């Protein structure tokens, strides 16, 4: 019965999201372009690129496709796999293979015992040894460059590599907001045998995100400061995505009764459920009355945070 209700509702969901006149270019602060330059300048000193991406958006235009970065061996780490839909894994791998990306690992680097984090050092050493190292042939140690958009877990992965291979603690500051990794750090050791170091870079974006939808997915996953995009539109895009992917756990979480494609309705119910309401005075013809208004911003904030923490289920957006 419940499934029938959901399926009946499915026909009412939007097929496309209306992005209006939005322009992604305003969403990416200037330091990202600077980071890209620093990254290229450091390329001579590295043997391999370790590209970290969010497993929920694996097909976003990536740095490795751009210019000079492609000359180094490359490992794509799709991190935050604990938040992505495991049933999409094989499809993602197949599509990446078809686009020429062969070396891919899925990680959840917050999990102490993630098996794939353990595989990174041996796989990187193998990749480096399988190709000429050019002017770095005499080097006894391996050097990696870690790249990725903000907030995908670069610092967390570096810390996980140190924890796993050196039994050492944190070298990189971890933050919940995009853009914590601001400076290009000097070399950080991640393994003794073989000696392996890496340089951390600011979370830099590719110079051009191909369309607004890609930008919106990045925003939803927390790689752009929310206020640059607007929490109301991120929340609406989240609702659109959950319905499109038939991920309806939000219905029970917020006591909605049935799925809805109307963000105002959903936010109102979230606000009421969470007690995020405000009492405001209204002037009417028969005198002043106090009415209870839902706090839409607080509700949008909660909805987005719940998605980012995985509380709305494991979702792959691509």
Binding residues for GTP: 79-82, 151-156, 203
Minimum CB separation from ligand GTP for residue 202, in Å? 6
Number of residues that bind ligand GTP (CB under 6 A): 23
Q: Which stretch binds ligand GTP (CB under 6 A): 75-83, 134-142, 239-247, 255-263?
A: 75-83
Residue 206 in the binding site for ligand GTP (CB under 6 A):
no
Residue 132: phi and psi, rounded to 5, are: -60, 145
Residues 265-304 that bind ligand GTP (CB under 6 A): none
Residues 84-113 that bind ligand GTP (CB under 6 A): 108-110
Residue 207 in the binding site for ligand GTP (CB under 6 A):
no
> Which of residues 56 and 72 has its CB atom nearest to ligand GTP in the complex?
56
Within 8 A by CB and 6+ apart from 183, the residues are 202
Encoding tokens for residue 35?
């980071």
Applying CB under 6 A, among 203, 215, 259, 294 the residue interacting with ligand GTP is: 203
Applying CB under 6 A, among 62, 80, 162, 314 the residue interacting with ligand GTP is: 80
Binding mask 211-230 for ligand GTP (x = CB under 6 A): --------------------
> What is the distance between the alpha carbons of residues 255 and 266, in angstroms, rounded to a whole number?
10
User: Cis bond leading into 132, ω under 30°?
Assistant: no
Applying CB under 6 A, among 35, 150, 206, 259 the residue interacting with ligand GTP is: 150
Minimum CB separation from ligand GTP for residue 221, in Å? 10
Residues 163-192 that bind ligand GTP (CB under 6 A): 174-176, 178-181
> What is the distance between the alpha carbons of residues 96 and 230, in angstroms, rounded to a whole number?
31
> Which of residues 38 and 141 has its CB atom nearest to ligand GTP in the complex?
38
Residue 152 in the binding site for ligand GTP (CB under 6 A):
yes
Residues of the shown chain interacting with ligand GTP in the complex, contacts defined by CB under 6 A:
79-80, 82-83, 108-110, 148, 150-156, 174-176, 178-181, 203
């Amino acid at each position: 019965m419940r499934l029938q209700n959901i399926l009946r509702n499915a026909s009412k969901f939007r097929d496309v999201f209306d992005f209006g006149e939005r322009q992604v270019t305003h969403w990416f602060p200037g330091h990202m372009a600077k980071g890209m330059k620093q990254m290229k300048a450091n390329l001579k000193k590295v043997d391999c690129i370790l590209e970290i991406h969010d497993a929920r958006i694996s097909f976003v235009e990536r740095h490795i496709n751009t210019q000079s970065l492609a000359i180094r061996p490359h490992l794509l780490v799709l991190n935050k796999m604990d938040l992505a839909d495991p049933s999409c894994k094989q499809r993602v791998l197949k599509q990446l293979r078809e686009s020429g990306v062969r070396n891919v690992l899925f990680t959840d680097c917050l999990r102490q015992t993630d098996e794939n984090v353990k595989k990174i050092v041996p796989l990187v050493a193998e990749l480096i040894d399988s190709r000429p190292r050019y002017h770095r042939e005499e080097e006894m140690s391996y050097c990696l460059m870690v790249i990725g958009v903000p907030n995908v877990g670069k610092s967390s992965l570096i810390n996980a590599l140190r924890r796993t291979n050196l039994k050492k603690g944190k070298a990189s500051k971890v933050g919940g907001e995009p853009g914590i990794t601001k400076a290009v750090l000097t070399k950080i050791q991640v393994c003794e045998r073989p000696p392996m170091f890496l340089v951390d870079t600011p979370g830099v974006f590719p110079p051009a995100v191909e369309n607004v939808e890609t930008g919106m997915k990045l925003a939803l996953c927390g790689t752009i400061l929310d206020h640059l995009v607007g929490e109301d539109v991120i929340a609406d895009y989240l609702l659109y995505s959950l319905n499109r992917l038939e991920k309806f756990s939000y219905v029970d979480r917020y006591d909605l009764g049935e799925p809805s494609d109307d963000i105002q309705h959903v936010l109102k119910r979230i606000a009421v459920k969470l007690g995020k309401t405000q009492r405001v005075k209204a002037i009417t013809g028969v005198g002043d009355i106090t009415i209870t208004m839902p706090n839409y911003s607080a509700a949008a904030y909660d909805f987005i945070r719940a998605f980012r923490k995985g509380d709305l289920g494991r979702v792959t957006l691509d």
